[in-house]
Structure formats: structure tokens, C-alpha cells
């Protein structure tokens, strides 16, 4: 079966074989011209001058010297005109851009469809005699207008008033905009089409030179009014003809929306004469059609790859095959999926810049610049940039090394001089930008020199460099230098996001080699033997809706401007046209609805199934990876696990002992205990941007340790007197500085500076330390027996191997006064003081007092290391719950009564402790997940457990 362009080439050659150089062929797109040239070359047997091959835009531009700027420049001109009209209501360019784009589309359509803008944008609320003012409209069109404007006769809402205010200014804006462009020798496509149509038909443009040529308009479907007038006029003058690509199936059936426009043209006084009397019936010819449904887009991609591999093994010719993507975002997954099975493929379509890695990088770079303060950058922004694939590709080892060091130092604010070293790209990134476009251009240009990036990534970057060169040249004219740097960055980021979301990265290669990959619009006029179309779902093909417009639907209908119905007819034609000459057709759709409900088969597929009568084979790819119930994780104590358990009592770990924290973890969840202490799976490290309770606690503990050790070293005595606190405020300030140097890895040669969260941490620690020293001054004199003591151990005999368990930990402070030993644990939180009984401290499935468990265990360890002295032992907490209480009393509470001596409880506590340790080391018992979901909320291993 011959392709449309092959038939066209043969017909033109038959008609103009003697002088092809006098022929101009006009196509809807450039790609069709390339295939036409190939087919014509197959016919011609001797060297000849080629006919002129143009797109419609190229053809019309030959009648004018006006330049058509790109969208950004046009919106900027529109912005200037807008500000001139709205002297007192101006807005920044970045905020205007989105609706400026929308207005530009509306003005373009008004001109393409040759609607009188002054009439269109008129305020018709008070036009009572609508019929007399708009005689050229049909009754149906007048009804649409009456229905719309009559709604404004009733009481007006704020939205209606706002609409009228803007509507009344649209024609003055349209007029000023076009006048300004004309004065500068500029125009936009729609206005150029309109002007050429008007000047051709009025005789203002002389076409003597064209009369020696023959123009062929090939493969057009939905013509705008301007296109229709231009083509019709040239046909009437005997200069042109048209060649339509149609099929009996949809042009002869009034119900088929695919033939909507072609049926109109067939009845047209001029265009109708160009239709062939013999319309082809290719769509009903023998075809192998497979309808393939898969769950989610990636299911379609996987299925496509499998089918391509099968068809290629069965000698499918790649050059006779096309993959049509209804959803542009599917391009990258498809390319990655088919690369292993397809040797050559050519991409001709636009890929959304907003879906590319370079878009994400630019966003991250601008957001990074938001955070610069005093030569430092925010860690979260730095991390995002360093982990971006393009930055990792520059030097992965250096990026990881810097991230590791930042986490180690817990740098919330990271010095720029640290970040900028070692890698040239890093030096360009981690500096304060003076001009954001120049900053990003320098980075993108450096990325272009990276050999580690592939050609596709460099294509993204190259197109982005072009975009930023335009932004750099134009944005300077609309930037307000008086606004703050942050405001300018925010404005730029808004503008970039809006502009980039409408931009596409064009991939154009050699169209005659390998399998073709293209979008729906790029497939116009082209025919392939093997056709694969993806994403045939309602809302995607056809699209769910048109781009935004300020012109309401009713007014569009009244004046013949495009509506969603118009768009539906265009895509119906493109769908059937891509199938009509194909022999092997594979149609894919997503069978599983997503959050937008896009799991419904396209209506075009429904029509094909129920109306065409063509045999269609249906295949459903079931999701083989069906979700199953999550099984509870259980770790048996096999030989390897028992060996790891035994190591808790061996070597360096034995010298520290199993801590109260480890035992508390086991009581919370034995599986977490296994992950953390047996398998030793480390938590993922990260910088704490919020106040980290661990850092806060570490600093307080270090301050109190250094404070009391300094007193004892100075006095060479462990006895603390009230007079030792006379200069406590200055000493605390000094030790806070030293604690910050240690915990934040600061340079000890420099003065400690406080900002951000560090100010808060300092004030909290100062407040705690000051209150502790006030209470201790009242309590003095007393003797410190131990401070931050981590050398005391306690051996517990058990029946399981290894026969004993070593317990230990770091006791914050032990002091003695008048035969009373206080075992003190500092807490910066609100841990409870009260517990119901010793057995309640060992409950697994109920709320228990972890802090009381810890301090009682410390009391037991102290007793075992106190050489049998007979003393009262009082374990307790100093925390936010009691520290700032005017009636402060030290000690845990047993059933709400202060525990004056814990010694009588230690025997029972030890018995429960032995039972717990027997359980931990029992080889018959498994490590299992807790049933208490509250325990899992902050657990670092919850993702392993699917919690």
C-alpha cells in the first residue's frame, strides 16, 4: 500500500516532470517534506532541480519582511503595552507572564480566525438590539452571545465585575500591542496570517511572480480562517491546488468526528473542486490490530519493549515502523526501555523542559541562592544540589566526601569556602550570585564540558543555555533594581517555571533510519507499515482540555473560535489517519485508573472497537507482581545471630557493657534491638536543622561535667561548697562555648558566634545549667562520687550461653550527702518521674517509664561498685518537669510518693533483669516486631518493616 506522500510525489511528478523547480509544495510540518523528498528521489531517474518544499508558516513569511519574535519577547512587548494602559495597576513581569501567555494565545487565535477584535471584545451588556449590530452572525451564534451577556444583567458578583473591568481593556491592549509591533517591524504568526489573507484577497499583494509557479497544499485538515482564505484565493487564481489525505470510513460518515473538517471543505465552493472523486478506503483494508492494556504507564513501556523484540526477531523492518507517544512525558521511559532491543531509532518530537533533569537543577540552584547568609549556605539546599545527577557526574567522590563531613559536623549552615574547593563546578555553584542568569549560564556551560554526561543530557543543557541567553537578554528590561535580592530571585524563579513549562526540547534526527519515535502532531502526513501508539486513554488522547483562555466558551462558539469539540475532531483525524495505511497496529492504554481517573480507554478506541467492524485482538497484561499481605519479620537465633549476640560481651564492647538504652530498645521492640545492637545496622545520618534533642542533651551534659570537674581540680577535693558557685554564670558561659566547639566541630582559635538554632540551644542550656547550679548551691555541701561515669560495670549471671552478661552505661552524676547517695540523670525533655511498680518497668505492650528503668539500673550498677557501703540510694531525674518547680524535690516517685531509698527495690529489679537477659540470649526465642504501632512512628528501621 502506497504512503500518502508517495502518492503525492508520483502525482506531482506526472504533472510537472518537465520543470519541478517551478513547483512549491506546502506541508503542515517539516517532517513531511523530508519523506516527500525521499519518495520523489525514488521516482526521478536523472538530476533535476528539486521543487520548493515549505511549511505553511514558511510560505506565508515569504510575503512579508516582518520578523516573528519568540514567545518570551512577544510577552515582554505585551507587558509593556499592558503597563502603559494600566498606569496605576501595574504588576511585575513574572506575575504577568502566565496571563500574558494566555492573552497572546487569544490574540493569535482571534487573528488566525479573522475575527473582528473590536466587536469580539465589546461589552454587550447593554446592547438590546443585538440582531441589528451583528447581522453577519447566524441565529445560533447570536443565541450564544445573548445567553452569555444576559447573565450580566442580574446582580454582579465580584468575579463578574473583575471580568468586565479586564474585558473592556482587551481591545485597547490588542490594538496597542499590534501597533507597537508594527512600528518595530515585528509581528506574531496569527496576525501575519491575517494580514496576508486580507492583502491577498484585496489585491494589495501582487502575485505576478507566483503565477509562473504551481503551489500544492498537501495533507491539511483543520484550516484556520486565514489559511482557508489564502489557499482558496490561490486556487481561484489558478496558482494552487490541494491534495487531501482522507478515507471513505470517516469522510462519508457524518457521525465520525475525524471527518468533520474534510466534509466541510468537500462542500466548499473552491476547496471542494480539489477533492478526488475516488476516495480511498484504506482503513477497511486487511490489518492486524492488537489492543493492549497494561497497568500504569510503565506497564505499557515494558509491554512495548517485549513486543518490539518479538517483532524484530520476526523480521520487522525498523524503517517501516513508528512509535507514537500521546503523552510526551513517556519519551524517556520508552527510550530507556527500547534501547536494549532496538539498534537504531530516531526521535522527532518535543520533550517538556519542565520534565528534564536540567529544569530540576535550575530550581535547586535558585533555591540555593535563597539560603546564602554571611558566606554560608543552608545544608538541605546544599545536599539537594550535590546529590543532583549532573553534579554527582562531575565528581561523585568529592560530593559524597563533602556531604559526609557536613553530617559529621552537623553543619546547618555550610561555609562557601569549604563547598567551593576541589572541583571547578563546585566553585561556580557555591558562591553568591550577583546576576542569576549569568550565574546559571556559567554552571550550564561548565556542565557542557563534562565528558561523563551523555548526548541526551547535553541536548537538555544546550537548549537550556539558549533559553537562558534569551532570558538574560530580555529580563534585564523588566527587572526592578530597587527590589531586594530575595525578591528578585523569587520573581526570576516564578518566571523561569512559567516559561519552562511551556517550552519543549526539540529532538530532530535523521528520519529515514531506524524506528521512528514521535508525538501525535509530528505524525501528520506520514505512513508506516507497523504502528505502535501508547497512552490511548481519555484525558491523554484526546487531552483533557485546552490551554487557558480569557475568551469564554459561549463567545468562542459565537465567533467561530476553536473549542474543545474542535480539538477533539483534530485528534480523531490524527488517530484514524495514522492507522489507515498501516498493516500491523499495536494500540496501548492504561487499564488501571490513577488519581486523575486516567484509566479509561480513549473514546477513539471505543469507536474503533464498536463501529469499525475491523477484527481486533485484545490482550491484557496482568500485574504479575500482585500485592500480598506483609508478613511479620522474625529473626531466628541461628548460629550467626548467636555469634553476633555473644560479641556484646566480647572485646571493646564488653568494656562498655549493655546499656540501659539497649535494654529499653529491646523492651520496645526486640526486632529493633536486633537491627541496632546485634546486626548493627546504622541509622542514616543527617544534619538536624531543627533543634536536635541529642545535641542539646550532649551540650548540657558536657557543660555540667566540665563545670564540676573544674571546681574539683581547682580545690583538689570532691566536696562542693556553696561558695564554689559565686562565679558560676561566667563559668557556665565559658563551658557552653567549649561544648559548642566540640559538638559543632568549630575552630577553637576563633570566637564562637551564635545565630539561628544555635542561639536557641545556647539559651536553653544556659537556663538549665543556671537552674541546676542554683539548686546545687542550696543543697551544698555535698561530695561528688562520680560524674559522667562510664567505667562501672555489673555482671549478671544467666543460664544461657555465654553464662553472664555485662551491663554498663554512662551515669551523669552520683553525689553523697549525710549518708544519702543521689544517682542523677539529666534530661532536657519531660520524662515522667512516677512509676507503678518494678514489674511495670518491664512491660512490653504497655506504656512504661523508660527513664525510671534507666536510673534504677544505674542505681544497681552503683551499688555493685560501691564496696558494700550501707547508704540510702536515691535515683532521680533532673528535667523540665521538676527543675523549674518552686517546690523542687529530687527522686523518682513510686505510686506518686517520692522514693526515699531504692535499695529495697533493687532485688526485685535484678530478678526481672535476669529474666529479661535470659530472654534476649535464649536461642529458642526469635526477635520479633512489636505490636505497638506508636513505637514505630519515629523508628529509623520502619521502612525495613513496611510500617
**Domain segments of the chain as ranges:** 4-63+205-274, 71-194, 282-344+513-621, 354-507, 640-936
Homologous superfamily (CATH) for 4-63+205-274: P-loop containing nucleotide triphosphate hydrolases (3.40.50.300)
Provide the pLDDT for residue 321.
94
What is the three-class DSSP state of 306?
helix
Instruction: Give the Cα separation of 524 and 569 in Å (integer).
Output: 14
The confidence score (pLDDT) of residue 625 equals 47
**866-870: long-range pairs with CB below 8 Å, 24+:** 866/821
What is the Cα–Cα distance from 39 to 33, expressed in whole angstroms?
10
Backbone φ, ψ for residue 99 (5° rounding): -80, -20
C-alpha cell at 164: 468586565
> pLDDT band at 440, cuts 50/70/90?
very high
* pLDDT tens sequence across 54-67: 999 999 999 999 99
The answer to whether the CB of 685 falls within 8 A of the CB of 747 is no
Task: Tell me what pLDDT residue 685 has.
Answer: 60
The pLDDT, as a whole number, for residue 593 is: 62
State how far the Cα of 833 lies from the Cα of 850, in Å rounded to an integer: 10
Residue 459 pLDDT exceeds 70: yes
**Report for 2-11, 125-134, 729-738: range of highest mean pLDDT:** 2-11
Angle of CA points 805, 806, 808, to nearest 5°:
140
Query: Cis before residue 702, ω within 30 degrees of 0?
Result: no
Q: For the CA atoms of the chain, what is the radius of gyration? A: 39
Task: State how far the Cα of 665 lies from the Cα of 659, in Å rounded to an integer.
Answer: 10
E-assigned strand segments in 404-445: 413-415
Give the per-residue pLDDT at 479.
58
Q: What is the mean pLDDT of residues 604-632?
A: 77
Q: Is the pLDDT of residue 157 over 80?
A: no
* pLDDT tens, residue by residue, 490-518: 888 888 888 888 788 877 656 678 899 99
Average pLDDT over residues 15-28: 92
| φ, ψ at 8 (rounded to 5°) | -65, -45
Average pLDDT on 871-877 reads: 90
Q: What band does 530 get if pLDDT is binned at 50, 70 and 90? A: very high
Within 8 A by CB and 6+ apart from 353, the residues are 359, 460, 463, 464, 467, 500, 501, 503, 504, 505
User: In the prediction, which pLDDT does 130 show?
Assistant: 46
Cα distances from 615 to residues 28, 280, 282, in angstroms, run 32, 20, 15
User: CA 223, CA 455: separation in Å to the nearest integer?
Assistant: 38
Residue 100 φ then ψ, to 5°: -65, -40
The answer to whether residue 595 scores a pLDDT higher than 60 is: no
Q: Which of 42-51, 306-315, 351-360, 399-408 is modeled with the greatest confidence?
A: 306-315
CA neighbor of 234 nearest in space, from 197, 268, 261? 197
Strand partners of residue 658: 807
pLDDT for position 265: 96
Which of the pair, 548 or 690, is modelled with greater confidence? Answer: 548
Q: Do domains 4-63+205-274 and 282-344+513-621 have the same CATH topology?
A: yes
For residue range 320-358, list pLDDT tens digits in order.
Answer: 999 999 998 898 899 888 888 888 888 888 788 888 899
Q: Are 876 and 825 in contact (CB under 8 A)?
A: yes
Q: Could you report the per-residue pLDDT of 779-806, keeping only the tens digit for each?
A: 999 999 999 888 888 888 888 877 788 8
64-103: buried (b, 16+ CB within 10 Å) or exposed (e) per residue?
eebebbebbebbbbbbbbbeeeeeeeeebbbebbbbbbbb
User: pTM of this prediction?
Assistant: 0.73
Which strands sit side by side in the sheet containing 872-878, from one edge to the other?
Answer: 719-720, 782-789, 811-817, 820-826, 872-878
Q: Residue 663 is placed in which grid cell?
A: 535494654
Q: Determine contact, residues 807/790, Cβ cutoff 8 Å.
A: no
pLDDT at 361 over 80: yes
pLDDT value of residue 127: 47
Specify the pLDDT at position 126: 47
Judge residue 868's burial from the number of C-beta atoms within 10 Å of its C-beta, 0-12 exposed, 13-18 middle, 19 or more buried: exposed
Q: Which fold has domain 640-936?
A: Lambda Exonuclease; Chain A (3.90.320)
What is the rounded average pLDDT of the residues 232-258? 94
Is residue 526 over pLDDT 70? Answer: yes
At residue 476, the pLDDT reads: 63
pLDDT of residue 624: 45
Residue 857: count of CB within 10 angstroms of its CB: 26
- Comparing 83-87, 522-526, 543-547, the range with the smallest average pLDDT is 543-547
Q: By mean pLDDT, which of 40-44, 197-201, 479-483 is the weakest?
A: 479-483
Separation between Cα atoms, residue 619 and residue 289, nearest integer Å? 11
pLDDT digits 0-9 by tens, 839-871: 999 988 778 898 899 999 999 999 888 876 778
**Terminal CA-to-CA distance of the chain, rounded, Å?**
59
Q: In Å, what is the CA distance from 406 to each residue of 60, 396, 398, 583, 689?
A: 60, 16, 12, 61, 12
Give 132's pLDDT tier (boundaries 50, 70, 90): very low
Sorted by sequence, the CB contacts under 8 Å of residue 759 that are 6+ apart come out as none
Of 587 and 337, the structure prediction assigns the larger pLDDT to 587
The architecture that CATH gives domain 282-344+513-621 is 3-Layer(aba) Sandwich (3.40)
Position 467 pLDDT exceeds 80: yes
Any alpha helices (H) in 314-395, and if so which ranges? 331-338, 357-370, 379-386, 389-394
Where does the pLDDT of residue 651 fall: very low under 50, low under 70, confident under 90, or very high at 90 and above?
low
What's the chain's average pLDDT? 86
- Number of helices (H), then strands (E), belonging to the chain: the values are 37, 26
User: Confidence class of residue 246 from pLDDT cuts 50, 70 and 90?
Assistant: very high
Per-residue confidence (pLDDT) for residue 552, from 0 to 100? 86
- For 871, residues 6+ apart whose C-beta sits below 8 A from its C-beta are 816, 819, 820, 821
Phi, psi (rounded to 5 degrees) for 391: -75, -40
State the DSSP string of 537-584.
BTBBTTBS-PPP-SS-HHHHHHHT---HHHHHHHHHHHHHHHHHT-SE
Q: Is a pLDDT exceeding 90 seen at residue 756?
A: no
Average pLDDT over residues 537-562: 84
Reduced to 3 states (helix: H, G, I; strand: E, B; else coil), residue 302 is helix
Amino acid at each position: 500500500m502506497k504512503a500518502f506522500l508517495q502518492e503525492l510525489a508520483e502525482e506531482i511528478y506526472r504533472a510537472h516532470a518537465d520543470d519541478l523547480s517551478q513547483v512549491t509544495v506546502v506541508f503542515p510540518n517539516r517532517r513531511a517534506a523530508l519523506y516527500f523528498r525521499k519518495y520523489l528521489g525514488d521516482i526521478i531517474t536523472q538530476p533535476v532541480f528539486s521543487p520548493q518544499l515549505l511549511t505553511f508558516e514558511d510560505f506565508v513569511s515569504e510575503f512579508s519582511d516582518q520578523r516573528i519574535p519568540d514567545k518570551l519577547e512577544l510577552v515582554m512587548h505585551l507587558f509593556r503595552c499592558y503597563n502603559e494602559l494600566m498606569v496605576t495597576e501595574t504588576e511585575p513581569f513574572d506575575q504577568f507572564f502566565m496571563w500574558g501567555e494566555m492573552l497572546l494565545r487569544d490574540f493569535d487565535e482571534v487573528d488566525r480566525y479573522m475575527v473582528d477584535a473590536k466587536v469580539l471584545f465589546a461589552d454587550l451588556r447593554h446592547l438590546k438590539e443585538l440582531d441589528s449590530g451583528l447581522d453577519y452572525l447566524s441565529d445560533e451564534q447570536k443565541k450564544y452571545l445573548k445567553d452569555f451577556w444576559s447573565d450580566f444583567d442580574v446582580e454582579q458578583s465580584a468575579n463578574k465585575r473583575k471580568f468586565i473591568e479586564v474585558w473592556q481593556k482587551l481591545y485597547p491592549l490588542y490594538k496597542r500591542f499590534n501597533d507597537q509591533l508594527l512600528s518595530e517591524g515585528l509581528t506574531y504568526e496569527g496576525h501575519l496570517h491575517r494580514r496576508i489573507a486580507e492583502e491577498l484577497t484585496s489585491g494589495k499583494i501582487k502575485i505576478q511572480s507566483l503565477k509562473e509557479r504551481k503551489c500544492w497544499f498537501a495533507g491539511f485538515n483543520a484550516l484556520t480562517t486565514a489559511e482557508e482564505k489564502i489557499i482558496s484565493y490561490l486556487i481561484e487564481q489558478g496558482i494552487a491546488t490541494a491534495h487531501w489525505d482522507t478515507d471513505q470510513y470517516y469522510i462519508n460518515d457524518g457521525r465520525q468526528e475525524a471527518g468533520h473538517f474534510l466534509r466541510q471543505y468537500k462542500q466548499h465552493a473552491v476547496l471542494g473542486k480539489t477533492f478526488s472523486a475516488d476516495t480511498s478506503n484504506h482503513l477497511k483494508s486487511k490489518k492486524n490490530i492488537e489492543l493492549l492494556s497494561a497497568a500504569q504507564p510503565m506497564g505499557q513501556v515494558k509491554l512495548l519493549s517485549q513486543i518490539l523484540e518479538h517483532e524484530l526477531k520476526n523480521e520487522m523492518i525498523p524503517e517501516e515502523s513508528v512509535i507514537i507517544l500521546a503523552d510526551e512525558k513517556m519519551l524517556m521511559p520508552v527510550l530507556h526501555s527500547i534501547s536494549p532491543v532496538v539498534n537504531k531509532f530516531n526521535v522527532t518530537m518535543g520533550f517538556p523542559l519542565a520534565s528534564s533533569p536540567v529544569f530540576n537543577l535550575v530550581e535547586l540552584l535558585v533555591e540555593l541562592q535563597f539560603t546564602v547568609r554571611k558566606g554560608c549556605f543552608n545544608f538541605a539546599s546544599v545536599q539537594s544540589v550535590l546529590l543532583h545527577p549532573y553534579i554527582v557526574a562531575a565528581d561523585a567522590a568529592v560530593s559524597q566526601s563533602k556531604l559526609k563531613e557536613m553530617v559529621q559536623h552537623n553543619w546547618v549552615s555550610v561555609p562557601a569556602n569549604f563547598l567551593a574547593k576541589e572541583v571547578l563546578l563546585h566553585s561556580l555553584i557555591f558562591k553568591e550570585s550577583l546576576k542569576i542568569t549569568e550565574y546559571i549560564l556559567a554552571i550550564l556551560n561548565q556542565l557542557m564540558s563534562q565528558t561523563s554526561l551523555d548526548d541526551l543530557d547535553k541536548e537538555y543543557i544546550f537548549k537550556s543555555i539558549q533559553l537562558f541567553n534569551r532570558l538574560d537578554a530580555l529580563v534585564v528590561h523588566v527587572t526592578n533594581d530597587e527590589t531586594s535580592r530575595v525578591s528578585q530571585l523569587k520573581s526570576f524563579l516564578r518566571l523561569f517555571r512559567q516559561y519552562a513549562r511551556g517550552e519543549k526540547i526539540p529532538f530532530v534526527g535523521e528520519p529515514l533510519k531506524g524506528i521512528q519515535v514521535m508525538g501525535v502532531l509530528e505524525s501528520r502526513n506520514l505512513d508506516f507499515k507497523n504502528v505502535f501508539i501508547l497512552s490511548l486513554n481519555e484525558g491523554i488522547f484526546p487531552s483533557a482540555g485546552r490551554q487557558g483562555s480569557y475568551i469564554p466558551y459561549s463567545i468562542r462558539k459565537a465567533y467561530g473560535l476553536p473549542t474543545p469539540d474542535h480539538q477533539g475532531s483534530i485528534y480523531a483525524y490524527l488517530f484514524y489517519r495514522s492507522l489507515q495505511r498501516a498493516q500491523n497496529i499495536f494500540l496501548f492504554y492504561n487499564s488501571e485508573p490513577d488519581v486523575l481517573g486516567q484509566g479509561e480507554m480513549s473514546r477513539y478506541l471505543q469507536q474503533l472497537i464498536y463501529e469499525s467492524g475491523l477484527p481486533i485482538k485484545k490482550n491484557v497484561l496482568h500485574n504479575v507482581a500482585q500485592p500480598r499481605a506483609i508478613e511479620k519479620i522474625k529473626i531466628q537465633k541461628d548460629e550467626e545471630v548467636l555469634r553476633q549476640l555473644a560479641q556484646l560481651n566480647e572485646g571493646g564492647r564488653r568494656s562498655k557493657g549493655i546499656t540501659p538504652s539497649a535494654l529499653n530498645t529491646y523492651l520496645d521492640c526486640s526486632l529493633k534491638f536486633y537491627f541496632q545492637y546485634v546486626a548493627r545496622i546504622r541509622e542514616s545520618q543527617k544534619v538536624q536543622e531543627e533543634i536536635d534533642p541529642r545535641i542539646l542533651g550532649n551540650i548540657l551534659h558536657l557543660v555540667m561535667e566540665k563545670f564540676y570537674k573544674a571546681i574539683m581540680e581547682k580545690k583538689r577535693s570532691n566536696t562542693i561548697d556553696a561558695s564554689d558557685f559565686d562565679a558560676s554564670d561566667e563559668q557556665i558561659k565559658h563551658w557552653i562555648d567549649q561544648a559548642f566547639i566540640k559538638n559543632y566541630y568549630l575552630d577553637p582559635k576563633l570566637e564562637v558566634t551564635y545565630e539561628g538554632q544555635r542561639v536557641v540551644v545556647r539559651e536553653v542550656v544556659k537556663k538549665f545549667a543556671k537552674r541546676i547550679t542554683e539548686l546545687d548551691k542550696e543543697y551544698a555541701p555535698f561530695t561528688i562520687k562520680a560524674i559522667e561515669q562510664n567505667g562501672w560495670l555489673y555482671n549478671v549471671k544467666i543460664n544461657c550461653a555465654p553464662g553472664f552478661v555485662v551491663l554498663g552505661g554512662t551515669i551523669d552524676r552520683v553525689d553523697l550527702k549525710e549518708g544519702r547517695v543521689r544517682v542523677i540523670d539529666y534530661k532536657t525533655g519531660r520524662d515522667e518521674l512516677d512509676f507503678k511498680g518494678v514489674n511495670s518497668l518491664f512491660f512490653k505492650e504497655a506504656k512504661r517509664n523508660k527513664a525510671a528503668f534507666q536510673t534504677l539500673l544505674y542505681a544497681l550498677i552503683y551499688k555493685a561498685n560501691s564496696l558494700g557501703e550501707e547508704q540510702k540510694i536515691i535515683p532521680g531525674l533532673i528535667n523540665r518537669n521538676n527543675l523549674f518547680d518552686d517546690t523542687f524535690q529530687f527522686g523518682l516517685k513510686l505510686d506518686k510518693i517520692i522514693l526515699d531509698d531504692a535499695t529495697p527495690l533493687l532485688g526485685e529489679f535484678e530478678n526481672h533483669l535476669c529474666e529479661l537477659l535470659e530472654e534476649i540470649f535464649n536461642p529458642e526465642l526469635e526477635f520479633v516486631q512489636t505490636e505497638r504501632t506508636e513505637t514505630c512512628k519515629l523508628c529509623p528501621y520502619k521502612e525495613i518493616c513496611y510500617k
